[in-house]
Amino acid sequence: MTYQTKDIRNVVLLGHSGSGKTTFAETMLFESKAISRRGTIEDGSTTSDFTNIEQERGNSIFSTLLHAKWKDSKINIIDTPGFDDFVGEIASSLKVADTGVMLLNAKSGVEVGTELIWEYIEQYNTPAIFVINQIDHEKSNYETALEQAQARFGSKVLPIQYPLNEGDGFNTIVDALRMVMYVFPEGGGKPEKQAIPEAELNRAQEMHNALVEAAAENDEGLMEKFFEEGTLNEEELASGLRIALAQQEIFPVFCCSSINNMGSGRIMGFINDICPSPADRQSITLNNGEELVCDASDSTTIFIYKTLSEPQVGNVTYFKVCAGTINSGDELMTSTTRNSERFSQLYVANGKNRTSVNSLAAGDIGVSLKLKDARTNETLNVKGVDRTVEPISFPEPRIRTAVNPPSKGDMEKLMKALFQIAAEDPTLIVEQSKALKQTLLHGQGQLHLDIIKYRIEKVNKISMEFEKPRIAYRETITRKADDSYRHKKQSGGSGQFAEVHMRIEPYYEGMPDPSDLTVRKTEEEELPWGGKLVFYWCIVGGSIDAKYINAIKKGILQKMEEGPLTGSYCQNIRVCVFDGKMHAVDSNDMAFMIASSQVFKNAFENSKPQILEPIYEVDILCSDEVMGDIMGDLQTRRAMIQGMGAEGHYQKISAKVPLAEMYKYSSTLRSISQGRAKFTRRFSEYMAVPPDIQQKLIKAHKAEMQEA
C-alpha cells in the first residue's frame, strides 16, 4: 500500500540516555500490532537495537527506522541514541522528521542531553511534544520534570496529561485535552475511560482552558468562536492545536510508563490526529535558496539521510521522498556527480526486518540496498530535474586520537575500513596528517571512537590500537636578526656556490617597510598551514641575479615546513634578502636553495624563537553539584576561564584550553559528572607556550632526531 502524503507522520524519538526511547518505540510497535510480543533491552530482543554491539552494550548507538500503522495513517518512527557521542544520528534523523518526541526521565527531568538535543530541534524548526516517561519509578517526580521543561523551554510547554498516582502502583492518567481519566489494567494495555474525580476537576479544567486558548490563538475564526462561547468543540480544538503545533506555538506534554505499556496508545493517537504530516510542514530548503514543497504530484526528488554497511547485505540506504513518487526499478540521478542509481527494490523497515513495497510517495521514508555511489547527504532526482537539498549540518569533532596499526601490511586494509565507516558516519573524520606523521581519528567522544575500534576489530578483523596524538605546534620569532651563509662545494668539475645575507623579523599586518633597505620586490604568501611569509627582495647592484629569487624563496619555505625548534611549521615571518654573492660558473638554483635554507635556520635561532600551541574554546554544560570539580580539573589543564553563567537550570563554563591538555577529556568529564555534563570545543587561536614547556618540547625533539 502506498500512503498519501497527508496520511504520513514522521516522528523521531529523542532524549538523554536512560529516558526510555527504545522501550517506548517497542511499546508503540506493540500497540499498533506491528509486533506481537514486546522485546526487552535486557534480553537484547527489541526491534530497534538490533545490532550485536547495541545488544552487548544495552543501549542505542545507531538511529533505527521503524513504522507502525495507526487508523488510516502510517507513522514512521526513528529511534535515536541518547549519548551525545552519537549526535550525528540525531542531526540526520531530525532532518527528515516532522515531529520530535522528546522523552524525559520522570526521576531526572530535563538533563544536559535534553538541552543539547533541543538546540537541534530549534535549528530544524521541528514541532515537538514531550513525554515524561517512567512515571512508575519509585522516585518519579512529574511536577519537577514539568517545571524544569517550562523553565528551560518556555511557556509554550503545556501539559495535556498528568499522573494521578505516580510511583509504585501507577496506573492512572488524567487527560485534560479529552477531559477524561484513563485507568490501566495490571500489565498495561487498553485503559478504561472514567470520569475525572471531583477533586481533580479544577486542575484538569485549568489545563484544558490553557489548551483551548493556545488552539484559538492561531486561527482568527477559532479566536472569534472562543470569545463568543468561551470554549471550542473537539473538532475545533484539534484543528487549532494542529496549527499551533506545526508552527511551534505549543509543545504538549504527555506522561506514560512505556515499560508497563501505560499511555503510549494515547500518544500515538495524538500523533495521528494532531501532529503534522509532511504536507503540513514548512517547505524543504534547497542549496540555491529555493523552497521545495512536499508534493506527490511533482517530479521525484529524494534525500539520503543515512547509510549503513551491513554484513552479508552491503550498503543500506535510508532516504526520504521529498517530492514526487519513487517506484521500484526507478533510476535517479545524483545531484553532485550526475551518476545514475537504480532502485531495484524499495523497502519499509522495522529495525533489521525489511518489507518490500512497490512505491513510496512524497513525505515517506524508505530503504534501498546496494546503491553504487550515493551516500549520506546526497540528493537524487528524476532525469531532467536539478535540485539539491540543503545538506545536514553535522557538528565539529570534539576529540581526537592517533591510530597505531599493528603492521604496515594491515595499514591499507585499516584505512579502507575507516573510510568506509566515515562514509556512513560524517561525524567521524579520518586524517592522514603529513605534519604530525600520524593517522588521526576525529570524533564526538571517547565512546564514539571506542565503537569505531570495536567495529574495525569485530567486523573487519583488523587489530587497531589508539595512541596519544601529537600536537600541531607552530614556530615563530619575536625579534629581528640579520645573518649570512656561504654555501661552497667543490668536487671536480663545476661546483656549487651561493652566499645569501638575510634579515628575518616577526610579521604583523600593516608593518612598515624597512627604512634601511631598498625594497625592489615584495611577495606575500598565505601559507597552507596558516599565517604568512612576506618576502622582500632588497638586492642593490646585482650581487645576486634576480633569476635566483624563486630558488631562495623555495629554500626558505622548505625550512619553514620543518621548523628549527621542533620540526613544526613556521609562520608570520618577514624575510629580507639584502646582499650576497654568486659565481658565474658555480652558482645555480640548488646552491641558493641550500644557502637560503641554512641562513634562515641560523637567523631563526638568533631571533628569540617561540613555539605556539593551538588553543581551543571549550564550553561545558553541567549541574551545580559538579561545577567545582570540573573547574578544579580545568585548572590542572592550564585552562583560562572566560566566563560562567546559568543556561536553563544548568551552569555553563566557558574556557580557553590548550589542545595538548585536552587528551581524553571526554572520558574525564564523564567520570567527574557521572555522565551529567557535556562539552563542545572549537579552535580559537595559536598562543605562546610557557617557557618551561617550550624547553621540554625542544629537548624531546632533539632526542627524537637523535634516535631517528
Cα 135 vs. chain centroid, distance in angstroms? 31
490 burial level (CB within 10 Å; 0-12, 13-18, 19+):
exposed
What whole-number distance in Å separates Cα of residue 84 and Cα of residue 92? 13
Residue type, 431: E
**pLDDT over 90 at 390, yes or no:** yes
Separation in Å, CA 29 to CA 133, 173, 586: 17, 21, 84
Give 416 or 11, the one with higher predicted confidence. 11
What whole-number distance in Å separates Cα of residue 60 and Cα of residue 57? 8
- Position 52 scores a pLDDT of 83
**pLDDT over 90 at 585, yes or no:** no
What whole-number distance in Å separates Cα of residue 565 and Cα of residue 236? 75
Each residue's pLDDT tens digit, 100-114: 999 999 999 998 888
Q: Give the containing element (helix H, strand E) for 29.
A: helix 21-31
- Position 73 scores a pLDDT of 94
Lowest mean pLDDT among 306-315, 316-325, 611-620: 306-315
Count of C-beta atoms within a 10 Å radius of residue 415: 15
Closest by Cα among 502, 550, 498 to 525: 550
pLDDT, mean over the chain:
92
Q: Which residues pair with 304 in a beta bridge?
A: 319
Count of C-beta atoms within a 10 Å radius of residue 624: 10
What whole-number distance in Å separates Cα of residue 250 and Cα of residue 237? 13
* Residue 678: pLDDT band with limits 50, 70, 90: confident
Each residue's pLDDT tens digit, 419-446: 989 988 999 999 999 888 899 999 999 9
Angle at CA 423, nearest 5°, toward 449 and 369?
Answer: 120
Q: Which residues pair with 503 in a beta bridge?
A: 482, 576
> Which stretches within 319-473 are classed as H helix?
408-424, 446-458
Closest by Cα among 459, 461, 331 to 385: 331
* Inter-helix orientation angle 87-96/112-123, to 10°: 40
**pLDDT over 80 at 374, yes or no:** yes
| DSSP-assigned letter for residue 7 | G
**Beta strand ranges found along 106-199 (DSSP E):** 128-133, 157-159, 161-163, 172-175, 180-183, 192-194
List, in order of start, the domains of the chain with CATH numbers.
5-280 (3.40.50.300), 284-381 (2.40.30.10), 399-467 (3.30.70.870), 475-607 (3.30.230.10), 611-693 (3.30.70.240)
* Residue 675: pLDDT band with limits 50, 70, 90: confident
- Position 459 scores a pLDDT of 83
85 burial level (CB within 10 Å; 0-12, 13-18, 19+):
buried
Q: Using an 8 Å Cβ cutoff, are 292 and 283 in contact? A: yes
* Residue 235: pLDDT band with limits 50, 70, 90: confident
Lowest mean pLDDT among 4-8, 338-342, 462-466: 462-466
Q: Using an 8 Å Cβ cutoff, are 214 and 241 in contact? A: yes
What whole-number distance in Å separates Cα of residue 214 and Cα of residue 243? 10
* Residue 314: pLDDT band with limits 50, 70, 90: confident
What whole-number distance in Å separates Cα of residue 136 and Cα of residue 258? 9
What does the pLDDT average to over 466-475? 94
Q: Using an 8 Å Cβ cutoff, are 156 and 250 in contact? A: yes
What does the pLDDT average to over 256-264? 96
One DSSP character per residue, 409-433 reads: HHHHHHHHHHHHHHHH-TT-EEEEE
What does the pLDDT average to over 163-183? 95
- Position 229 scores a pLDDT of 67
Secondary structure (H, E, C), 550-608 = HHHHHHHHHHHHCCCCCCCEECCEEEEEEEEECCCCCCCHHHHHHHHHHHHHHHHHCCC
What whole-number distance in Å separates Cα of residue 10 and Cα of residue 294? 13
Residue 55 φ/ψ, nearest 5 degrees: -70, -35
- Position 517 scores a pLDDT of 93
* Residue 25: pLDDT band with limits 50, 70, 90: very high
Cell digits for 563?
621548523
Cell digits for 478?
619575536
| DSSP-assigned letter for residue 229 | H
- Beta strand pairing status for 609-622 and 650-658? antiparallel
* Residue 493: pLDDT band with limits 50, 70, 90: low
Closest by Cα among 99, 101, 139 to 20: 101
Q: Using an 8 Å Cβ cutoff, are 398 and 679 in contact? A: yes
3-class DSSP state of 105: strand
What does the pLDDT average to over 399-427? 87
* Residue 492: pLDDT band with limits 50, 70, 90: low
**pLDDT over 80 at 530, yes or no:** yes
What does the pLDDT average to over 583-595? 93
Contacts of 364 (CB under 8 A, 6+ apart): 3, 5, 8, 74, 76, 320, 321
**pLDDT over 90 at 513, yes or no:** yes
3-class DSSP state of 5: helix
Give 373 or 430, the one with higher predicted confidence. 430
187 burial level (CB within 10 Å; 0-12, 13-18, 19+):
exposed
What does the pLDDT average to over 649-653? 87
528 burial level (CB within 10 Å; 0-12, 13-18, 19+):
exposed
**N residues, the chain:** 708
Secondary structure (H, E, C), 234-295 = HHHHHHHHHHHHHCCCCEEEEECECCCCECHHHHHHHHHHCCCCHHHCCCEEECCCCEECCC
- Position 226 scores a pLDDT of 65
Sheet holding 192-194, edge to edge: 161-163, 172-175, 180-183, 192-194
* Residue 139: pLDDT band with limits 50, 70, 90: very high
Each residue's pLDDT tens digit, 628-649: 999 999 999 999 999 999 887 7
What whole-number distance in Å separates Cα of residue 186 and Cα of residue 261? 10
